Amino acid sequence: MTINVGDKIPSTKLKMKTSDGIQEVTTEELFGGKKVVVFALPGAFTPTCSAKHLPGFIQKADEMRAKGVDKIACVSVNDAFVMDAWGRDQGAGDKVMMLADGNAEFSDALGLSFDASGFGMGKRSQRYAMVVEDGVVRALHVEQPGAFEVSSADAVLNVL
């Protein structure tokens, strides 16, 4: 079942590479008492994800924070080392948290994973963006397969 607006984010864990090594980030820590923009995409270093999706959120991070957003998080079904390298390559810095969902547990819990085995990519996250306030989904924009229209940084800014 796919998560919907008004639903509480399920309890799962993500990973993030920090200067202290790989750290677990629980959904309770990520979303509790905060307004968070989360966007997910099929894979780090992939064409649309690298050319449009992540760069848009990096560029618009200050505008989102000015609208009350506490954190912006990028999620992909990659490992924490890949997400860290991609974030450094893209200049994410402290603007966007680069969160690894290596086993697709978060994506599965949201009902937003898909099988990309036909492309040699295994299980992946659908492309989406959502606004979460204190653990509750307030806006959710899931892309149609192959599209990049409703989950952009500009689309999220329009709902903040």
**What are the catalytic residues?**
49
Task: Mark 45-73 as b/e (b = at least 16 C-beta within 10 Å).
Answer: ebebbbeebbbbbbebbeebeeeebebbb
Its sign, for the CA torsion 10, 11, 13, 14, is positive
Which residue carries 């959710």 as its tokens? Answer: 140
Cα-based angle 10, 16, 19 (whole degrees, multiple of 5): 150
Contact 54, 96 (CB under 8 A): yes
